Structure 1
């Protein structure tokens, strides 16, 4: 009742899944991943035990295909299942049981496995595969572009409801304390993929590190704009008497809005923060 794509970035060492379904909260069921082990999408009449079991096997050094064969060998209802896997080295595998509802199927390519069931036709999976292969940039961008293309090609024949994006990398989580690099869900929405893309863009705004070319000195026109918006947003009550006063007000804004990842040394600002300020 779902279509998904599982992918790997060998440069950044990221594993991830993007998924959409006419199903409430698909992100709570389908995607599983662990850094340096792999990623799994378990769907159709989803056997959620496939997730942790597959990750355990792949962490032990099993390939995606070997892991898939072991999972299926232990499941008497395997013909109702659909699953896609990427192992620790980025090798893919996919399986669609004979009892999955039409259209159902999957395909693999370099560092990806795409699959879906109860689809309009095979074009959804083909579009995901093509777009993932042709798109450049971060794994998240490639997975989302592929998922969006799958929807545009037909998608789930029953409609749309939820979507999720889950990507792991070593110490990729908040503060570097876990591997949960990107973990975003849209549980119930009339256009869940577009909403997921919007939330991902917010996630990048809040948590992606500053780009060097977007860091600027607080002087000239930038200083004037910053003072104007700090006053408008009530972080400054009158004309600041020193640059330190401006920076203290900016720091208060950054901490209130959770932009700590974009905080700069005294006298500098990430222009993404200033752009957000203008729209606030």
Structure 2
């Protein structure tokens, strides 16, 4: 009912799972990941215990292939299960039980494993593999999504489309550094869930991505004057808090606080401010 990829970044700091299925809210069931430990995908006849048990084994240093062997050996329903595991080092591992609905299978390599069942054919996994291997220059969440999109375009679940999910963890990579969930997005019921997941990831990146120091503008001179006028038009005039304070106040309302840098300006923030400030009230 599902196709997924579990993977690790080249530096070992990020782990994640991308999944799509003709099944309601697959992202709520299939993926699990722990920062600097590994990631697990449980599918077909899902065994939710695989998630916590698999991560616990990875945490103690058990290799992914041995995690798969241990989980399936202890499970009388293993022939109806599918499982993908990746750890902090080495190859990923995948399992497809003999009773999984065809087409079903998987592939694995250094730092990744892709698997699926009730697929149009093996080309789905081939496409995911190729997209993952060819995407090494992409940011890790986008690389996972690109592999998932490749599987979807190759035919995906032969019953159709319904849901998709993306989970990426990095130590202190979550909101304001207070957690490890860098990305945790789900499309639970949608006619084109992988495309919708891509839209959500783009929005997530805009709102919560960290500013690139190389692209920041100095918030001085004519740019500072423009920003002050735009902020005033948006209801955040520069007052005793100064330009930085007014900008931070506006950014908090717009959910862009993660992109604010004192005395400087992220081009993404400037673009959003220009696009959303009420027209004709910028003080020009």
Normalising to structure 1: TM-score of the pair? 0.92
1:120, 1:24 → 2: CA distance? 19
Structure 1 position 226, deviation (Å): 2.0
2:220, 2:177 → 1: CA distance? 33
Relative to structure 1, the CA distance from residue 127 to residue 261 in structure 2 (aligned partners, 3 Å threshold; closer, same or farther) is same
Greater shift, 213-222 or 121-130, is seen at: 213-222
1:142, 1:103 → 2: CA distance? 25
When the two chains are superposed, the root-mean-square deviation of aligned CA atoms in Å is 1.8
Secondary structure of the structure 1 residue equivalent to 2:47: coil
Pick aligned residue for 1:275 from 268, 271, 280: 271
Normalising to structure 2: TM-score of the pair? 0.91
Structure 1 position 258, deviation (Å): 2.2
2:232, 2:176 → 1: CA distance? 31
Secondary structure of the structure 2 residue equivalent to 1:82: strand
Structure 1 position 14, deviation (Å): 0.8
1:146-185 map, 5 Å: 146-185=147-186
Relative to structure 1, the CA distance from residue 177 to residue 248 in structure 2 (aligned partners, 3 Å threshold; closer, same or farther) is closer
Secondary structure of the structure 1 residue equivalent to 2:106: strand
Is the CA contact (8 Å cut-off) linking 2:21 and 2:164 kept in structure 1? yes
Unaligned runs of 5+ in 2: 277-284
Q: Which residue number corresponds to residue 281 of structure 2? A: none
Q: Which residue number corresponds to residue 260 of structure 2? A: 263
Unaligned runs of 5+ in 1: none
Q: Which whole-Å deviations, capped at 9, do the CAs of 1:161-196 have from their partners, x for residues lacking one?
A: 111111112222223233212111111112111111
Relative to structure 1, the CA distance from residue 66 to residue 152 in structure 2 (aligned partners, 3 Å threshold; closer, same or farther) is same
1:1-280 map, 5 Å: 1-11=1-11, 13-135=13-135, 136-236=137-237, 245-266=242-263, 268-280=264-276
